[in-house]
Amino acid sequence: MSAPQRRADPEPQAPPGPASVWRRLWDQFGTLLVAVAIALAVRSCVIEPYRIPSESMLPTLLVGDHLFVNKFVYGIKVPFSDWRLPGLREPERGDVVVFEVSRDRYGGIFPADLRPDLPSERFVKRIVGVPGDTVEVRGAELWINGERVPVEPTGEVVEDEDGRVLTVARETLGRHPHAIADDPRAVGPQRGPFTLDPGRYFLVGDNRDHSNDSRLWGTVRLADMKGPAFVLYWSWDWDGSWLELLNPVTWWTLLTEKMRWERIGMTIR
């Protein structure tokens, strides 16, 4: 009977080389990195979210509305430059647009290209004048190229957060009929007739008597526009902190009292 053979000891494994380590890291995190890269590319080139912080666009947009901006329509902006790739169309009268302005520490607002040394901030307003237009604001009336923009009363009212009752009318800018709000007890910023320079746009809030817009601080160039707003993806009457959302009682209040379910998915006119 032959003696049992002794099993050879396994050879010691060599430590993983650099290529093997990178392979393991890619297997663990590669999918996540690709997902993050796609999300950043989409946000940079296609759509970008924006939250409405003020009532300057009443009754079209409410505080707490969250919308998507279509960055493809006017042409994708080349990063770190003022250049844009060809878009689907030029900005039109009536477009609701998210754009950048500059703001100083005292609250002063300036066109972003005139004060690039200041921090930037995003605004949302409606385009009422395009390059070459002659624009004038007389009281509550908007005049474009010597003609009064048609406005029809609706008989509706809306109340703002300060308890002011605003009347709602229907205004038509080009092919964009939309609602505007008027405060019968106030007169908003006025602007005498002037002609817009090439490449400059005049933007005004739909809440005409309570909007900080081009009537006060000037015009906006295309390079500073993010794009037109096109749909609401979320809406709630909530101004609390994210820490408060950790409380289940807050969830119930949001779901039953603060959410504006009927606004989610609405297109912006």
Q: Mind telling me the catalytic residues?
A: 56, 125
Check if the beta carbon of residue 162 is closer than 8 Å to that of residue 172.
no
Phi, psi of 74 (to 5 degrees): -85, 0
